[in-house]
Structure 1
Amino acid sequence: MSPRHESARPPLGVHLAEGGAEVAVYSENADGVVVCVLQDDGSEARTELDMRTGHVFHGFVRGMRPGTRYGLRVSGPWDPASGLRFDDGKVLLDPYATATADAPEGTILGVVTDPGSFDWQGDDPPRTPLAESVVYELHVKGFTKTMPGVPEELRGTYAGLAHPAAVGYLRELGVTAVELMPVHRFVQDGHLLDKGLRNYWGYNSLAFLAPHPEYAAARDPLEQVNEFKGMVAALHAAGIEVILDVVYNHTAEGNDQGPTLSLKGIDNPSYYRLVEGDAEHYFDTTGTGNSLNVGHPAALALIMDSLRYWVTEMHIDGFRFDLATTLTRQGGDPDVHSAFLALIHQDPTLAPVKMIAEPWDTAGYQVGGFPADWSEWNGRFRDDVRDFWRGTPGMLGTFAQRVLGSPDVYEASRRSPLSSVNFVTAHDGFTLADLTSYNEKHNEANGEGGADGESDNRSSNYGAEGPTDDPEINRVRTRQRKNLLATLLLSAGVPMVLGGDERGRTQGGNNNAYCQDNETSWFDWEHGDDELAEFTRTLISLRRAEPALRPDWYRYAPGSGSPRTVDLRRADGRRFTNSDWHRPEHKAIQFVLGHQGHTTFAVLMNAAENGVEFSLPYTPRRVWRLELTSDEGLDVDAARRLTLAPRSFALLRSSR
């Protein structure tokens, strides 16, 4: 029976009403849509959506209520050469499902939820200004999987992250936001399961409105949603924001050989970008087999509805967009005026939340290319800071730009340092401990013959590959870890710390641990570096307490800070000349950081393999006192000169 046409339709997805629910599904190319409700005896109750408005099939399904498990059967032509992959023999996941459940033969069902069932008890999002933010990237499972103080049954779950032991650790560390690696419902990769491995990172999303059920202690899908909300509320109560790492650039359905689980069988050419002139295959700038068709209203609506849902219903504070450049490709090239960016810019629901781009994909690198109200993962900060501290010649000028918030990247478009999310390490690549312990990646456990993962790591082992008992090598490694953390947390911009770096977490040299859902990736709470953790806590505390240590000045906001907000000096105390910046032998610098009405600080950095004498800036009645250093032998008195050990930094506070 052909669907009846109707002038009005409900919103997409399932919306409860008396006696059942209104259901609406978008498909431009389908002939019909049937909703299949799973009965207690395992049978299906089928209801055809008998109305069609535009390209939306909709109708009323009796008996649907919270907890109902359902799927979709979508009929239409099977014509892969034309991009059409309809098969009403398959039960598909509603892309607007807000909870999910597994069914036999790999089928994933939607579960009807009740938005009003959770009591937020006056939850008040912290809304921490970017200028005061310190972001901590963590994995929900890995962070608490072995955490002391968290009950065994809650470890590795949303409830575990909400536990006082976990929240207390984050609060004591001083971070203002957690950036959670993907928590949208994702799917395990068959090729990994065949090798006895699992997708740990979760960059294989399928349902953009549903939390991943494996991270819930609760087995009931309704309680899983509430458990996630309880985690957000607990973190908010501690003043900690929740930012989601979201994967809207592709889905788990992969290429033409991948499974049909949802969008591919609902309306393949509307939701996915197909190769022009070869519609059987998928355009791919993600390296995963497909790319979402962000030039189509249906795909854009799904992304926008998902974002609004997580803000309004789940109280999320921000998003980090994986491979965000793909989302700006309406045609072939990235476009700063793309519909995706325009829609987000004008949306009042999304205006208060943080938007962070990973500004690249497999076909392009766009650091500095996003709009002014976006922040970006600054890959240039990562690379240049690593190069400076490992002693690469000629890096001083570039390094100074990174510490100052990368004005060479952002100021031409009148963007402030807050556009730069600074990081030295992230989930993808070496941890901080491994960055200072390995020259080469060691990814053999991934089963790809060592071919996976980045080969250009800009790392150094300082004389031994991996763990060593050599005390001098270990001293250098400790200094370098402190140097890198200090640079990260004393630079202009928004710092992001990789979870576990403050405790010396290692992955044994694996720089692509995406498939290591085991002790390789999980936090090792038993063997952490307590001294480094205390050092990190001190740095974060100083940054949050002292405006001079988080400068948000730039030339188009001359009223911020003070007339001498930042003063750059050579080690001998003189001002730099143009020729100084690129001289290969220059590997030392001092930044004098001031803020009107507040304490002035001097940050001394020496990346040379020899000690360097610094002449401190002189002002009558100013006395410099040591605040923090990686040079364990440094002795500072009221003198204006000090010698900083090889590969060391020092932070000094001025007093009068």
Structure 2
Amino acid sequence: PDPRFSAGDPASAIEEFRVMVDAMHDHGIEVILDVVYNHTGEGDHLGPTLSWRGIDNASYYVPKPGQPRFLYDSTGCGNTLRAEHVYVRRLIMDSLRYWVEVMNVDGFRFDLASTLLREQGRVNHQSGWLQMVQQDPVLSGVKLIAEPWDLGYSGYQLGTYPPPWREWNDKYRDVVRRYWNGEFGITGQFATRIAGSSDLFAPGHRRPSSSINYVTSHDGFTLQDLVSYERKHNEANQENGRDGRSVNYSQNCGQEGSSTNPDILAHRDRLKRSLLTTLFVSQGVPMLLGGDDLGRTQQGNNNPYCQDNEISWYDWNLGESNKEQLEFVRELIAFRKDHPSLRRNRFLTGQVEKNGLPDAIWWHPEGHVMRSEDWASTQAFGMWLAAPDMLLICFNPTGEAVRFKLSDEYVWSWGLGWGESTVVAGEDLKGGVASVASQSVLILRVQSSASERGMV
């Protein structure tokens, strides 16, 4: 561990880290380490000699084809570690085992994982390094998460890793952002993503838990900035705007940056709640960026790796709106835990299950099952999860409230929602209409007993 983060004597950093991990385990929290084995901090051939360049450059780094005095760069950092070399593999494997056996971590997220699979310049899913991890008695038992791409040839490999690997799903990120921006014609894509991305993972005989769903991460905008800035503001990085993604599918709700306008603040709060709710009702593994539960901002900087200041720090002096957002995230987490239908271990198919009901129905606001032609013309729709517990999750990304006609076979009650959304029951309490506020999510549940319906 970096001794700069030690609370006491830098020499105590190792023991402090182990104590921290043990304390987290005592509270039911696992520790996943983000590891970067794809490059070193030496840059390209013009950079400093800090690591293995001066020891054995040809063994530790991938040379540029046909120009071995230069370095191949699939990482965007000037060099690429040569994971196909036996000694580089040993270095990585020894490091991983140390963090598991000595430091007691529970798994790893591999930055630019495709680079580690490269052999002879190409991504190889039968690579020696991957097979070593798969059969290792220590590492095969921990959680393994890939950032399934790099910047080299054919580096984008989402959905191609073998079990039990999990993968960051950036297609989920982008489609969810675009949907809540109000983009037309992507309702079907949005439904596929919140249903677990079976198009990506089912062909490899994998489960919804293979998808690490996220809306924001340490690479890019925070959630607060996603609804406050239409473009990145990376001037403080002093790279003349070259760094960080330029396409963020973000919006500012009427004013770039911070605002005191109550209408703009209400709009941003509504969008944040919709994005967060989408994340926690999606099939797969939700990943929440640290600080998004608190409304943390990076002042529009979407690549603050070099900012050890207020841009990247947490402000623990929470205002009232920050506290409300924290409480809302707690409610979402509790709701997900309470409803197994949001945590299925098989993909949604629409097929009838043992209880006589399909596992999922896509519901049109007019009160019928979505037809194939509806997907191209409808933005607001519902995901009706019929097993093991019955929920109707209504999504409305439009600028106006949308009325959903509910099935008159059941008595529906409020599950989770906010703002101006309402539910009005029909005759005998069955059916009725739900009004879903603009750019909002409303979750309804079926009342399963007479006592819940107020009959006893």
Query: TM > 0.5 between the two?
Result: yes
Aligned to 2:340: 547
Q: Which of the numbers 379, 383, 407 marks the counterpart of 1:591?
A: 383
Q: Is 2:355 aligned against 1:564?
A: no
Aligned to 1:355: 144
Q: Is 2:229 aligned against 1:438?
A: yes
Distance 1:451 1:271 in 2: 29
Q: Is 2:437 aligned against 1:650?
A: no
Once the 2 structures are TM-superposed, how far is the Cα of residue 304 of structure 1 from its aligned partner?
1.1
Once the 2 structures are TM-superposed, how far is the Cα of residue 559 of structure 1 from its aligned partner?
11
Aligned to 2:453: none
**1:559/1:216 Cα in 2 relative to 1: closer, same or farther (>3 Å)?**
farther
Match of 2:246, SS? coil
Q: Which of the numbers 75, 79, 88 marks the counterpart of 1:286?
A: 75
Partner letter of residue 635 of structure 1? T
Asked if 2 retains the 8 angstrom alpha-carbon contact of 1:251 and 1:292, the reply is yes
Distance 1:392 1:234 in 2: 45
Quick check: which one's strand share is greater?
1
How high is the TM-score relative to the length of structure 2?
0.92
Once the 2 structures are TM-superposed, how far is the Cα of residue 261 of structure 1 from its aligned partner?
2.8
Partner letter of residue 348 of structure 1? P
Distance 1:462 1:229 in 2: 44
Aligned to 1:341: 130
Aligned to 1:524: 315
Once the 2 structures are TM-superposed, how far is the Cα of residue 282 of structure 1 from its aligned partner?
1.1
Q: Which of the numbers 296, 300, 304 marks the counterpart of 1:505?
A: 296
Q: Write the deviation string for residues 370-418 of structure 1: whole angstroms up to 9, x where unpaired.
A: 1122110000000000000010110100000000000111112222111
Aligned to 2:411: 623
Asked if 2 retains the 8 angstrom alpha-carbon contact of 1:489 and 1:539, the reply is yes
Q: Write the deviation string for residues 81-133 of structure 1: whole angstroms up to 9, x where unpaired.
A: xxxxxxxxxxxxxxxxxxxxxxxxxxxxxxxxxxxxxxxxxxxxxxxxxxxxx
Partner letter of residue 252 of structure 1? G
Q: Is 2:22 aligned against 1:227?
A: no
Q: Which moved more, 1:372-381 or 1:521-530?
A: 521-530
Q: Write the deviation string for residues 54-84 of structure 1: whole angstroms up to 9, x where unpaired.
A: xxxxxxxxxxxxxxxxxxxxxxxxxxxxxxx
Distance 1:569 1:635 in 2: 18
Asked if 2 retains the 8 angstrom alpha-carbon contact of 1:356 and 1:377, the reply is yes
Once the 2 structures are TM-superposed, how far is the Cα of residue 560 of structure 1 from its aligned partner?
8.9
Aligned to 2:454: none
Structure 2 runs not aligned, ≥5 long: 427-431, 449-456
**1:561/1:540 Cα in 2 relative to 1: closer, same or farther (>3 Å)?**
farther
Asked if 1 retains the 8 angstrom alpha-carbon contact of 2:225 and 2:300, the reply is yes
Q: Is 2:5 aligned against 1:215?
A: yes
Distance 1:561 1:496 in 2: 31
Aligned to 1:10: none
Aligned to 1:20: none
**1:559/1:271 Cα in 2 relative to 1: closer, same or farther (>3 Å)?**
farther
Q: Which of the numbers 258, 262, 281 marks the counterpart of 2:47?
A: 258
Q: Is 2:433 aligned against 1:641?
A: yes
Q: Which of the numbers 226, 247, 265 marks the counterpart of 2:36?
A: 247
Q: Write the deviation string for residues 251-295 of structure 1: whole angstroms up to 9, x where unpaired.
A: 123322222233223322111111233222111100111111111
Distance 1:247 1:523 in 2: 23
Distance 1:232 1:365 in 2: 33
Q: Write the deviation string for residues 5-56 of structure 1: whole angstroms up to 9, x where unpaired.
A: xxxxxxxxxxxxxxxxxxxxxxxxxxxxxxxxxxxxxxxxxxxxxxxxxxxx
Asked if 2 retains the 8 angstrom alpha-carbon contact of 1:561 and 1:595, the reply is no
Q: Which of the numbers 169, 191, 202 marks the counterpart of 1:378?
A: 169
Aligned to 1:608: 398
Once the 2 structures are TM-superposed, how far is the Cα of residue 332 of structure 1 from its aligned partner?
1.8
Asked if 1 retains the 8 angstrom alpha-carbon contact of 2:224 and 2:272, the reply is yes
Asked if 2 retains the 8 angstrom alpha-carbon contact of 1:592 and 1:602, the reply is yes
Asked if 1 retains the 8 angstrom alpha-carbon contact of 2:4 and 2:10, the reply is no
Q: Which of the numbers 254, 258, 261 marks the counterpart of 1:470?
A: 261
Partner letter of residue 421 of structure 2? L
Asked if 2 retains the 8 angstrom alpha-carbon contact of 1:553 and 1:560, the reply is no
Asked if 2 retains the 8 angstrom alpha-carbon contact of 1:593 and 1:601, the reply is yes
Quick check: which one's helix share is greater?
2
Q: Which of the numbers 102, 106, 116 marks the counterpart of 1:313?
A: 102
Once the 2 structures are TM-superposed, how far is the Cα of residue 565 of structure 1 from its aligned partner?
2.2
Asked if 2 retains the 8 angstrom alpha-carbon contact of 1:561 and 1:594, the reply is no
Q: Percent identity?
A: 46
Once the 2 structures are TM-superposed, how far is the Cα of residue 520 of structure 1 from its aligned partner?
1.1
Higher-Rg member (1/2): 1
Partner letter of residue 354 of structure 1? K
Match of 1:361, SS? coil
Once the 2 structures are TM-superposed, how far is the Cα of residue 633 of structure 1 from its aligned partner?
1.8
Q: Is 2:323 aligned against 1:533?
A: no
Asked if 1 retains the 8 angstrom alpha-carbon contact of 2:394 and 2:443, the reply is yes
Alignment of 1:359-508 (within 5 A): 359-363=148-152, 364-508=155-299
Aligned to 2:371: 577
Partner letter of residue 293 of structure 2? E
Distance 1:416 1:526 in 2: 40
Alignment of 1:58-69 (within 5 A): none
Match of 1:360, SS? coil
Distance 1:560 1:362 in 2: 43
Distance 2:135 2:242 in 1: 43
**1:289/1:451 Cα in 2 relative to 1: closer, same or farther (>3 Å)?**
closer
Structure 1 runs not aligned, ≥5 long: 1-210
Match of 2:393, SS? strand
